[in-house]
Amino acid sequence: MNTLIWLRTDLRLHDNPALAAAAANGTATALFIAAPGQWRLHGEAPAKVDFWLRNLRELSQDLARLGIPLKLLTVDTWDQVPDALVAFCADHAIEQVHANTEWAVNERRRDDTVSWRLAEAGVDWTLHHGATLLKPGTVLTGKGDTYRVYTPYARACRERLRTAPLRAIAAPKAQTAPAWGPDPLPDAFDGYGPASEAIRALWPAGESAAGDRLDAFADGVIDAYRDERDFPSLPATSCLSPYLAAGVLSPGQALRAAQAANHGELESGNVGAATWINELLWREFYQHLLAACPALSMHQPMKPETAAVPWRDAPDDLTAWQQGRTGLPIVDAAMRQLLALGWMHNRLRMVTAMFLSKNLLIDWRLGEAWFMAHLVDGDLAANNGGWQWSASTGADSVPYFRVFNPLSQSRKFDPRGVFLREWLPELAHLDDSAIHDPSPMERAAAGYPLPIVDLAQSRLRALEAFGNLPKA
């Protein structure tokens, strides 16, 4: 029997339940469906699409060694997927299609249509669980509701993971290849050029690269994670988020590596490992919320009352923020890092997001879209969750009256200005004190702008805007 694994954001051999099922039930073929028009509608970053393509090239070679050809279909948008998939199955005598569930609303609507169209064609369709540690909808409060507060959610997850540890799924065994071979992959997808050499060098493709990075992090770096993770000049984070977002690395693989570094513990023991596991659970929390609340996929705030926030229409301020020309050095350095590397340090994602949504009082959705348009690790659930946390519109978000002061954050987490000097070379000559907030004379001499907003006054403006909202 011919079976099909439809690859989406699960570009890996190992720990891939849909691929394992396809291989166990017959002669497997792999398929990736490119939809550049849909990606543009979703605002996907060129760096992210390039990362997908580079990982597909690596995966195609890995699959070929197992006798599993990787085929490519190209459509414009997802409404063309059902016809294309039914035709592909007919042409290749496919009797079963396996895929891992995706939880955003457009993805679920696409899969609902595919389900009944394949059924009409007499093709079995099975969705598997491979994107999160625990299946969304299975971690619920005592009342049977989705958790809206992180701490009790994480406690419930840890208990589940203690009592039923996740088992690794092996890569498929080699098979006799079907009559067709793999398809050649393009140099680029339509409308998406290659990423810069800097981005490609920072984010090498393939499971081996992801595994090497995970091993290096778990073998020592993770020990200092709690104490050093907030300092953007230090190599103290895992830099695994692009691999998790594209599914080159599974969350289960990440968790098992962290537990191995912590003698099997989830919460106690090595504080660095325990802290990183906590971050994995935050990622999980946002995935579960996305699955339970389709409105999050439709640009709606988690807290309905915050839809009434009087956001400013300030295109010049938005452009200054986007381009790293706000006159706030830590904000500008972070935004330039994003533009150059397709990535931003997590502490700085919070700082820049809060500056936009609170100090500039600009709609968080504009910032969310800008991040997605540039992040190589762009993930709807994580990006939306982070932005709504910072903007005080989301589940278990920061209270609206807590507004990060970017100058305080800069002095605390980059005290010697190492990160600032890397990304703001025009200020590199200033001393460790002056670089965080140069004087007007120092700014003029360096060609660096004055701040576009007064931090104290803008904070009061944000407090008033949020404080006057109707009660939920």
CA distance 296 to 273: 30
| Amino acid type, 36 | P
Catalytic: which of 279, 405, 422, 442? 279
387 as an active site residue: the answer is yes
Catalytic: which of 25, 106, 278, 346? 346
Task: Please enumerate in sequence order all residues whose Cβ is within 8 A of that of 431, keeping only pairs 6 or more positions apart, or say none.
Answer: none
282 as an active site residue: the answer is yes
Catalytic: which of 203, 364, 370, 423? 364
Q: Where are the alpha helices (DSSP H) in 42-149?
A: 46-64, 81-91, 105-120
Query: Tokens at residue 105, please?
Result: 């609303």
Helices 81-91, 105-120: axis angle to 10 degrees equals 40
CA distance 214 to 31: 27
| 293 backbone dihedrals φ, ψ, rounded to 5° | -125, 85
CA distance 157 to 316: 44
User: For 247, left (φ over 0), alpha (ψ -120 to 50), or beta?
Assistant: left
- Pick from 118, 379, 150: nearest CA to 281: 150
321 as an active site residue: the answer is no
Catalytic: which of 39, 387, 389, 423? 387
346 as an active site residue: the answer is yes
Question: DSSP secondary structure string, 266-325?
Answer: SSSS-HHHHHHHHHHHHHHHHHHHHHH-GGGGGT--SSGGGGG------HHHHHHHHHT-
CA distance 338 to 345: 9
Helices 406-413, 346-354: axis angle to 10 degrees equals 160
By the 8 A CB rule, do 315 and 348 touch? no
By the 8 A CB rule, do 129 and 17 touch? yes
Q: What is the DSSP code (8-state) at residue 125?
A: E
Residue 55, classed as helix, strand or coil, is: helix
Task: Please enumerate in sequence order all residues whose Cβ is within 8 A of that of 74, keeping only pairs 6 or more positions apart, or say none.
Answer: 33, 34, 35, 36, 189, 190
Catalytic: which of 311, 405, 422, 442? 311
279 as an active site residue: the answer is yes
Residues serving a catalytic function are 279, 282, 311, 346, 364, 387
